[in-house]
């Protein structure tokens, strides 16, 4: 895989997202929103029963952030792919919350649209930290083209997961695959088990295929973010429930998944009042 040159404006857009988190959300400098978000800014939350839509517009965003106040957080991963930016965030508080924000920039380099996914995290401090940790080093010698990476991940979702094709697991996942989700331990072996057993059962019961609805996807370096909806299967909880997720993959030079993080917002699972949804 060869790497394409970074699109013009990538660094400026990255700086604006960092500004949003550090200075607006972290420091409460709401006056900076004018240069970051478009007047017609439109927020989106998962389309679940009982989840209220957020009011659009820059003024409404300013009012929401003003009510929330300064929030302690850590941006763990941030990529920019053309008009799109994806941020993986750890929100601190009485209950730790994992979040991913997906942003679309307009032609004036301001945030025009924004999608939220949030998940309250349970467990020990070490287990919470594991949800954000990275244990696989990036291959600095590899040159990865973002368009080919996103195409590769799309193909994995449609050919392996949707069809439950276990013969493709070795093609898309490295045997050293690291999963940073305590609810789904086992790495490569667990992926194969789910694709061989849980997905075919779902397909047989429903007439299939296993539905994976990709909303947005972006890549930078060796990291791919996928914003999608599906029905829970294979993690022994909430089976059959609708979930809007973001999956984050580190991909090696062969196009295999070597490391994974996720944020799962499952319909009917309440978020704590401390969760930051803006």
Q: What is the CATH number of the domain that holds 23?
A: 3.10.450.50
Query: Domain count of the chain?
Result: 2
Q: For residues 5 and 42, give the distance between their C-alpha atoms in angstroms, rounded to a whole number.
A: 30
Averaged pLDDT, 207-223: 93
Q: For residues 251 and 105, give the distance between their C-alpha atoms in angstroms, rounded to a whole number.
A: 25
Provide the pLDDT for residue 143.
77
Averaged pLDDT, 101-124: 95
Scanning the structure block, which residue is given the tokens 């789904």?
184
Provide the pLDDT for residue 4.
47
Judge if 160 and 124 occupy the same domain. Answer: no
Does residue 109 come out as left (phi exceeding 0), alpha (psi in the -120 to 50 range) or beta? left
Domain endpoint, select from 97, 130, 163: 130
Judge if 102 and 165 occupy the same domain. Answer: no
Judge if 160 and 112 occupy the same domain. Answer: no
Condensed to tens digits (0 to 9), the pLDDT of residues 42-88 reads 999 998 877 888 999 999 999 999 998 999 999 999 999 999 999 99
Provide the pLDDT for residue 257.
97
Judge if 155 and 96 occupy the same domain. Answer: no
Judge if 71 and 180 occupy the same domain. Answer: no
Q: List, in sequence order, every residue forming a beta bridge with 260; answer none if it has no partner.
A: 179, 249
Taking a C-beta distance cutoff of 8 angstroms, is the pair 264, 243 a contact? yes
Condensed to tens digits (0 to 9), the pLDDT of residues 9-35 reads 789 999 999 999 999 999 999 999 999
Provide the pLDDT for residue 228.
96
2 assigned to some structural domain? no
Distances (CA, A) of 63 to 2, 30, 57, 73, 238: 45, 9, 10, 20, 35
273 assigned to some structural domain? no
Judge if 100 and 174 occupy the same domain. Answer: no
pLDDT at 111 over 50: yes
pLDDT at 138 over 70: yes
Condensed to tens digits (0 to 9), the pLDDT of residues 230-246 reads 876 555 555 557 889 99
14 assigned to some structural domain? yes
Scanning the structure block, which residue is given the tokens 């993690």?
235
Judge if 174 and 66 occupy the same domain. Answer: no
Instruction: Return the half-sphere exposure (C-beta side, CA atoms, 13 A cut-off) of residue 90.
Output: 15
140 assigned to some structural domain? no
Taking a C-beta distance cutoff of 8 angstroms, is the pair 107, 13 a contact? no
Judge if 124 and 160 occupy the same domain. Answer: no
Provide the pLDDT for residue 18.
98
Provide the pLDDT for residue 232.
65
Provide the pLDDT for residue 234.
52
Averaged pLDDT, 116-140: 91
Scanning the structure block, which residue is given the tokens 């789910």?
194
Q: List, in sequence order, every residue forming a beta bridge with 262; answer none if it has no partner.
A: 247
Average pLDDT value over all residues in the chain: 90
Averaged pLDDT, 77-106: 95
Judge if 187 and 241 occupy the same domain. Answer: yes
Judge if 117 and 175 occupy the same domain. Answer: no
Provide the pLDDT for residue 198.
86
Q: Report yes or no on whether pTM surpasses 0.85.
A: yes
Taking a C-beta distance cutoff of 8 angstroms, is the pair 25, 65 a contact? yes
pLDDT at 95 over 90: no
278 assigned to some structural domain? no
Which residue has better confidence, 174 or 230? 174
275 assigned to some structural domain? no
Instruction: Return the half-sphere exposure (C-beta side, CA atoms, 13 A cut-off) of residue 68.
Output: 25
165 assigned to some structural domain? yes
Q: For residues 207 and 201, give the distance between their C-alpha atoms in angstroms, rounded to a whole number.
A: 10
Q: For residues 55 and 203, give the distance between their C-alpha atoms in angstroms, rounded to a whole number.
A: 38
User: Prior bond to 209 cis, omega within 30?
Assistant: yes
272 assigned to some structural domain? no
Judge if 107 and 208 occupy the same domain. Answer: no
Judge if 43 and 96 occupy the same domain. Answer: yes
Provide the pLDDT for residue 5.
45
Can you give the residue range of the structural domain that contains 205? Answer: 146-266
Provide the pLDDT for residue 160.
96
Provide the pLDDT for residue 97.
94
């Amino acid at each position: 895989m060869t790497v394409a040159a970074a699109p013009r404006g990538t660094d400026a857009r990255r700086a604006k997202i960092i500004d949003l988190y550090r200075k607006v959300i972290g420091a409460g400098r709401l006056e900076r929103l004018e240069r970051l978000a478009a007047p017609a800014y439109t927020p989106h939350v998962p389309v679940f029963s009982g989840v209220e839509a957020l009011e659009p517009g820059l003024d409404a965003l300013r009012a929401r952030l003003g009510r929330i106040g300064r929030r302690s957080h850590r941006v763990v991963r941030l990529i920019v792919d053309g008009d799109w930016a994806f941020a993986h965030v750890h929100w601190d508080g009485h209950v730790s919350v994992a979040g991913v924000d997906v942003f679309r920039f307009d032609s004036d380099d301001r945030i025009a649209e924004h999608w939220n996914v949030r998940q309250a995290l349970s467990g020990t401090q070490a287990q919470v930290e594991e949800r954000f940790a990275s244990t696989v080093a990036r291959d600095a010698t590899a040159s990865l083209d973002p368009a080919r990476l996103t195409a590769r991940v799309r193909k994995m979702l449609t050919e392996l997961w949707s069809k439950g094709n276990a013969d493709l697991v070795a093609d898309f996942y490295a045997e050293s695959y690291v999963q940073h989700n305590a609810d789904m331990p086992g790495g490569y072996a667990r992926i194969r088990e789910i694709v061989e057993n849980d997905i075919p059962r779902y397909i047989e019961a429903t007439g299939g295929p296993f539905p994976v609805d990709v909303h947005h996807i972006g890549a930078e370096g060796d990291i791919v973010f996928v914003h999608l909806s599906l029905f829970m299967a294979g993690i022994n909880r909430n089976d059959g429930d609708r979930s809007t997720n973001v999956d984050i993959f580190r991909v090696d030079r062969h196009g295999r998944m070597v490391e994974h993080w996720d944020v799962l917002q499952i319909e009917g699972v309440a978020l704590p009042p401390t969760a930051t949804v803006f």
